[in-house]
A = this chain, B = another copy of it.
Amino acid sequence: MTAHRYTEDHTIPFYEGDVTNRITMAMLINVLMLCSDHQNAALGVAQQSLIDQYGVGWVVTQYAITIKRLPVADDTVKVSTRGTSYNRFFAYREFWIHDEQGNELVKVDSIWVLMDEKARKITEIPESIIKPYRSENVRRVPRLKRPERLDSNAELTTKKYQVRASDIDFNGHVNNAHYLEWMTDVLPLDFLVSHQPEQINIRFENEVKYGNFVSSSVLVESQDNDRIKTIHEIMSNDKLSSSATFIWKKNDVKGNE
């Protein structure tokens, strides 16, 4: 029995693109979340119904994102997802973005936990919630590569942000996509125009709340293979909220790879 795969089309409006017209990392995450939300609803286990019935909600702890080519504004892409496997506490979900010709543009692996909304603690995944996905019950879900941590002696670039009302989703939490926005914004605009991410490993640790200040720090490192590595940390109240490692490649022309 293979896991249930869900696919939908998405046309990228201009406001999901950046200055080069490519979809932003924040919007990429949003588009994936939209697809998994729709699968959840199609399988009768919508996020809101889990909260209402069980007092629990899915929370992503880690993404590994591999990008061959970023779609641009006006592109229509196919977004697919499947809840591939799970064990007692963790669920492994895959995502794909394909262009209209069927070429794979983006592949994402993600690890999810079920969070008790009141206690804000991880809970066991009940059979009734996971069953509709036809996920494989496994002893270990795949372990995604951990982002590197910053050396406190390194020369970092840091910017401060305050969590905005518009960063809060209908569950009262900060939408994960905003971490990507804080991480990329700390890089100079000319770098963002001339490069695009090829690989992103990001982990979410402690939740930030409305009104909190976060500091987004980055260390930029050149690689042997003509790539740039950036190591990111989002800190809030002296606690690590999120860490990430990005590998960037240079664009040939603005708006193209």
On A, residues with C-beta under 8 Å from B are: 13-15, 17-21, 24, 26-27, 30-31, 33-34, 37, 73, 159, 162, 164-166, 168-170, 172, 175, 177, 181, 184-185, 187, 189, 192, 210-211, 255
**A91 CB to nearest B CB, Å:** 20
**Separation in Å of the A217 CB from the closest CB of chain B?**
16
> In the complex, which residues of chain B have a beta carbon less than 8 angstroms from the beta carbon of A166?
18, 24, 26, 181, 184-185
Residue numbers in B under 8 Å from A31 (CB-CB): 13
Verify A164–B185 contact, CB threshold 8 A: yes
Subset of 24 A-B contacts with CB under 8 Å: A13-B30, A13-B34, A14-B34, A14-B37, A14-B170, A15-B27, A15-B33, A15-B169, A15-B175, A15-B177, A17-B169, A19-B165, A19-B168, A19-B169, A19-B172, A20-B170, A159-B162, A164-B181, A164-B185, A165-B189, A165-B192, A166-B185, A189-B210, A189-B211
- Measured between beta carbons, the chain B residues less than 8 angstroms from A13 are 30-31, 34
Counted per complex, copies of this chain come to 2
Check A169 against B26 for contact (C-beta < 8 Å).
no
Bound form: Cα–Cα A225–B255 in Å = 51
Which residues in B have their C-beta under 8 angstroms from that of A17? 169-170
Contact of A19 among B24, B34, B170, B211 (CB under 8 A): B170
Query: Which chain B residue has the least Cβ–Cβ distance from A34?
Result: B13
Closest residue on chain B to residue A29 by CB atoms: B15
Complex-state Cα separation, A181 to B187, whole angstroms = 22
Complex CA–CA separation, A13 to B166 (angstroms): 14
Residues of B within 8 A of A165 (CB): 18-19, 184-185, 187, 189, 192
Pick the most buried of A14, A20, A169, A187: most chain B CB atoms within 10 A of its CB: A14
Question: Shortest 9 CB-CB distances between A and B: which pairs?
Answer: A15-B30, A164-B185, A19-B168, A21-B170, A13-B34, A165-B189, A165-B185, A165-B192, A189-B210
